[in-house]
Amino acid sequence: MLRQQDVGHRIVVRRIVGIREGRTLFSDALGELVELSETHITLSTDAGPLRVPVAEVHRAKRVPPARRPTAAAVVALELAADEAWPAPVRGRLGDWRLRWADGWTGRANSALPVGDPDRPLPAALDAVQRWYAERGGTALVNTPLPLAAPVGAELDARGWTARPPVLVQTVPLRALAAPPDAGLADTPPLAGPDGTPPVTLGGAPTDDWLAISASRKGGLPDAARHVLTAVERVRFAELRVDGRVLAIGRGTVTGEGRWLGVSLLEVLPEARRRGFAAAVVRALAGWGAAEGAGHAFLQVEQSNTGAVALYRRLGFTTHHTYLTRVAPAA
């Protein structure tokens, strides 16, 4: 059977799905193990998340990985993502990043355990908990998998829980097929190649942009505005119809100029399924390409099947996953 050391690795599970004419029926599933508890195992599969009760597991084992990025590539992308979502209060624990933004979003209020914390792992996690306790917050740790699987195993032993798996997805900018001048900042709005309304990009968020973002994120405290704007190369996208903003997005160029980060993509409910989200992404991709970036990345919860399907159609594939781990209540 599986062990905590297998979290973050590729596994195959043979599960019992029923009995027919006295014979047990089985079904096999292949994917990355993202959670292992006493009652369930959770896999990240090509078809989406799969949660299997342990009682239904006939056999499960680790299998050789599919082609996956190197540890160095995962670290580089995680650092580019950290740069694209800058918490106003930051600390260091050796190479580990500590981030605090008054509780606004998990990414800006969690430790990022990449590299060497400059002390034994148990002492490092004790220091993480003290750092967040000093700020009146619950300690969170983002664990990129399988890179941070040893951290995850130690957190399991301490009783930390896990939020839903997050997919870190990437795509070459050329694959987004944006018009070559799409999304250039401070230029006239450009209509999409499929006739969608034009997308405009600005260096600062408008009131309309902020209102839509606030409705999605439950408000925008001062710390949130820092996270959104404190990046040297950032653009805020708006798609308007008859003067009304129906879709927004945010783009950043970080990671020594190699990565376009796409975040806060939102389409008003009444305007969905009209190609507006894709138009916003392509406009940001055009700007990112003009800035010299070669690839785009985004982060999306695996359970958000609608968004995952959209990004798949745009060509995004999963680079790696991470779990946000939550300290138990004191």
At 77-109, the pLDDT tens digits run: 999 999 999 999 999 999 999 999 999 999 999
3-state SS, residue 210: helix
Interatomic CA distance for residues 141 and 139, integer angstroms? 7
Return all residues near 325 (Cβ < 8 A) that are at least 6 apart.
Answer: 140, 141, 142, 143, 152, 155, 160, 161, 162, 163
Nearest one of 3, 7, 29, 4 to 16, comparing CA atoms: 29
Looking at the DSSP bridge assignments, the partners of residue 245 are: 240
329: exposed, middle or buried (Cβ count in 10 Å: 0-12, 13-18, 19+): exposed
Question: What phi, psi does 152 have (nearest 5°)?
Answer: -60, -40
pLDDT tens by residue, 41-56: 988 887 777 889 999 9
pLDDT value for 292: 96
pLDDT digit string (tens) for 252-272?
A: 999 999 999 999 999 999 999
Q: What is the DSSP letter of 198?
A: P
Written as six digits, the tokens of 104 are: 């606004």
- Confidence tier at 194 by pLDDT (50, 70, 90): low
Mean pLDDT of 137-153: 95
C-alpha 10/C-alpha 29 separation (Å) is 11
CA 133 to chain centre: 25
Residue 195 confidence class, pLDDT cut points 50, 70, 90: low
Alpha-carbon gap, residue 94 to 67, rounded angstroms: 30
Is residue 95 helix, strand or coil? Answer: coil
Mean pLDDT of all residues in the chain? 90
Coil, strand or helix at 330:
coil
Question: Is residue 182 scored above 70 in pLDDT?
Answer: no
Quick: pLDDT tens for 199-216. Answer: 999 999 999 999 999 988
Q: E strand or H helix at 206, and its extent?
A: none
CA–CA distance, 201 with 206 (Å, rounded to integer): 10
In the predicted model, what is the mean pLDDT of residues 138-145? 96
pTM listed for this prediction: 0.79
State the pLDDT at residue 15.
94
Is the model's pLDDT at 114 over the cut of 70? Answer: yes
